[in-house]
Amino acid sequence: MLEEQSKAIRRVDYTAPAFWIDTVDLTFDLDPAKTRVLNKMRMRRNPDVAAQALRLDGEDLNLARVMVNGAGTSFKMDDDQLVLENLPEGNDAFDLEIFTTCNPSKNTQLSGLYVSNDSFFTQCEAEGFRRITYFLDRPDVMASYTVTLRADAKQYPVLLSNGNLMEQGLLEEGRHFAKWTDPHKKNPATCSLWWLANWWHASSALFLAQAKNTCCKFLFAPVIWTKPNTP
């Protein structure tokens, strides 16, 4: 069986994006079979590019809702792209809200949001972010990210993402949440998110105990965590 050929992207064909994304507010209700993703973006047109439709990349997503400035809007699908043509004119910022669901347990590509060893992980580089939500999935679109994670507190006691932990607490039905804000703008390929289950809980507690006398409370790096061997 021949593998599908990847589309070549050449530097000489580069064109600037027609839109910029200033802020991204992501809320995840984590479930292995059906994770709900609410994506709220503050966007604006690029004044240096001729006015055109907004085309957002997406793969293996179930689209449930699209709203602009709090109201429903028309859209169409063009292969794997979500196309929005009726957007506010001018250069003023507007709010775009997209609600989707996905099935991390069926994601065997290990790209986007997937489940491994009963834990959630993401791989966003190079084009994995489009498997999490509809987005301008390209390296020249820089934005500030806020991520809120919700999950079963017993099964997933550690909720981890990039940036600073701003808020955490308990929810109904045995769930809990954690809200992270990254102060540094980044493109979607470098927006790494990790959600770790029970096996990492002891390791995180040990790390925090060792770090209590340092100037930082949390220190996370984009490494691959593996499940420790048990005797």
* 93 touches 43 (CB < 8 A): yes
Entry pTM: 0.83
Number of domains composing the chain? 1
39: domain CATH number is 2.60.40.1730
Q: Is residue 182 part of a domain?
A: yes
Which has the closest alpha carbon to 61: 162, 3, 137, 175?
A: 137
Segments forming the whole domain that contains residue 107: 17-199
pLDDT at position 5, please?
58
Q: Is residue 98 part of a domain?
A: yes
**Low-confidence spans in the chain with pLDDT less than 70:** 1-6, 192-231
Q: Is residue 212 part of a domain?
A: no
Q: Which amino acid is at 197?
A: A
Q: Is residue 138 part of a domain?
A: yes
**Is the peptide bond between 209 and the residue preceding it cis, with omega within 30 degrees of 0?**
no
Q: Is residue 226 part of a domain?
A: no
Instruction: Measure the CA–CA gap between 26 and 170, rounded to whole angstroms.
Output: 19
Contacts of 154 (CB under 8 A, 6+ apart): 174
Q: Is residue 215 part of a domain?
A: no
Angle 74-77-80 from CA coordinates, rounded to 5°: 145
Instruction: Measure the CA–CA gap between 185 and 156, rounded to whole angstroms.
Output: 28
pLDDT at position 199, please?
43
Q: Is residue 117 part of a domain?
A: yes
Q: Is residue 108 part of a domain?
A: yes
